[in-house]
């Protein structure tokens, strides 16, 4: 009984994104979809001594392009992001451990495509957390038409009998169409996350998972919801 999730890539996503990855057998990055500005595709939040701060990848504001086609239009943004992360998390208990693999992604790698950047970050975070879910791109399959129909077709092509969706999709997914196709529609639960130790004031729930990794290291798994077979 194969379970899949299909979701657009995000930049250094929050912990719930990785719970969804860990909960399925295959995670399909849905980056054939239209890029949306002021969204999570190219930015995320971190905590600082001055409050929450957006780390935004410079990609311009043109929405008439697919996520997979979005190019990064500045050269020094990676150095800036790493300096910001280091200045705000250097005193976190597991900063050095995370920096061993994260710093080279900012200081050595050279990203000019948003999809490649996001996928690389997601895969490296999964590797650290020992999440072994297969990650594929939506263009590894043939894409049909229709919001519901396209997702159902991706499930069928991937051999899935269960589809895990985020709760925001309840407003447009037609559960009857999935049922008719023999696919069980499941909803990811993002409620009641336990709090973990954080720097800089009051606890904030919806920040990048990097905040949790810097503060908790491998113990981050104890603050996530998924008890998945691929997590050691």
What are the beta bridge partners of residue 14?
Answer: 208
In a domain, 232, yes or no: no
List pLDDT tens digits, range 160-183: 999 999 999 999 999 999 999 999
Are residues 94 and 217 in contact, defined by beta-carbon separation less than 8 angstroms? Answer: yes
pLDDT at 229 over 80: no
In a domain, 231, yes or no: no
Are residues 58 and 220 in contact, defined by beta-carbon separation less than 8 angstroms? Answer: no
pLDDT at 77 over 90: yes
List pLDDT tens digits, range 84-117: 999 999 999 999 999 999 999 999 999 999 999 9
pTM score:
0.95
In a domain, 83, yes or no: yes
In a domain, 87, yes or no: yes
List pLDDT tens digits, range 41-51: 999 999 999 99
The total number of structural domains in the chain stands at 1
Q: Which residue stretches of the chain are H helix? A: 15-22, 77-89, 95-107, 114-129, 147-158, 175-180, 209-216
In a domain, 230, yes or no: no
Among all chains, which residue has been given the structure tokens 């701060």?
A: 53
How far apart CA 152 and CA 163 sit, in angstroms, is: 8
CA 219 vs CA 209, 211, 231: distances in Å: 13, 13, 12
In a domain, 228, yes or no: no
What are the beta bridge partners of residue 113?
Answer: 71
By residue range, what is the domain housing residue 133?
3-223
In a domain, 183, yes or no: yes
**What does the chain come to in residues?**
232
Task: Tokens for 146, please give them.
Answer: 């229709």
Exposure letters 164-189 (e unless 16+ CB within 10 A, then b): bbeeebeeebeeeebeebebebeebe
Q: Rounded to 5 degrees, what are φ and ψ at 162?
A: -135, 140
In a domain, 58, yes or no: yes
Mean pLDDT of all residues in 68-82? 95
Provide CB contacts within 8 A for 130, sequence distance 6+: 230, 231, 232
- Residue 230's pLDDT band, with cuts at 50, 70 and 90, is very low
Provide CB contacts within 8 A for 28, sequence distance 6+: 4, 5, 6, 7, 135, 136, 137, 138, 140, 141, 154, 158
């Amino acid at each position: 009984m194969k379970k899949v999730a299909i979701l657009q890539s995000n930049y250094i996503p929050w912990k719930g994104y990785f719970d969804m990855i860990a909960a399925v057998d295959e995670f399909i990055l849905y980056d054939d979809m239209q890029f949306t500005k002021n969204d999570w595709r190219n930015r995320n939040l971190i905590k600082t001594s001055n409050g929450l701060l957006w780390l935004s990848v410079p990609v311009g504001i043109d929405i008439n392009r697919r996520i997979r086609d979005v190019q990064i239009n500045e050269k020094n943004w990676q150095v800036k992001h790493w300096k910001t992360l280091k200045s705000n998390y250097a005193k976190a208990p597991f900063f050095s451990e995370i920096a061993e693999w994260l710093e080279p992604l900012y200081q050595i790698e050279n990203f000019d495509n948003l999809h490649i950047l996001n996928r690389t970050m997601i895969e490296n975070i999964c590797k650290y957390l020992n999440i072994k879910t297969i990650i594929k791109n939506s263009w590894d399959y043939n894409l049909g038409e229709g919001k519901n129909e396209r997702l159902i077709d991706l499930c069928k092509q991937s051999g899935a009998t269960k589809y895990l969706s985020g709760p925001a999709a309840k407003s447009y997914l037609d559960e009857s169409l999935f049922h008719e196709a023999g696919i069980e529609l499941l909803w990811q639960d993002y409620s009641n996350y336990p709090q973990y130790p954080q720097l800089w004031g009051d606890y904030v729930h919806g920040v990048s998972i990097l905040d949790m990794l810097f503060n908790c290291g491998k113990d981050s798994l104890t603050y996530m919801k998924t008890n998945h077979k691929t997590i050691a």
